């Protein structure tokens, strides 16, 4: 599976946003504008923040010196499985 980035096809970004909308509300309370995300296919700052929040929830925040602009295989698999921790 390939990574999802701001340059990815709209369908891939929408999939990412939809999956984040399934898992994030189970972890965090509603955060207006972030949780739930608007599923618009735009990998912008809000999607990036949601990705960082998801990594943090999985305990991946510490060793990910990443800005949330690229979702790779591990994150895609975790989202597909609906992992919340």
Contact (CB, 8 A) for 17 and 40: yes
| Residue 62, number of CB atoms within 10 A of its CB | 8
Give me the torsion for CA of 32, 60, 9, 42, rounded to 10°.
20
Q: Whole-prediction pTM value?
A: 0.91
Asked whether the predicted pLDDT for residue 32 surpasses 70, the reply is yes
Confidence of residue 76 (pLDDT cuts 50, 70, 90): very high
| pLDDT at residue number 62 | 66
Confidence of residue 30 (pLDDT cuts 50, 70, 90): confident
Note if the bond before 36 is cis, omega within 30 degrees: yes
């Amino acid at each position: 599976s390939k990574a999802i980035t701001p340059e990815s096809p709209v369908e891939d970004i929408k999939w990412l946003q939809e999956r984040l909308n399934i898992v994030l509300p189970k972890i965090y309370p509603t955060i207006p504008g972030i949780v739930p995300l608007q599923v618009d296919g735009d990998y912008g700052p809000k999607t990036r923040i949601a990705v960082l929040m998801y990594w943090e929830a999985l305990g991946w925040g510490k060793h990910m010196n990443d800005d949330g602009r690229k979702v790779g295989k591990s994150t895609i698999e975790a989202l597909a499985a609906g992992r919340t921790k």
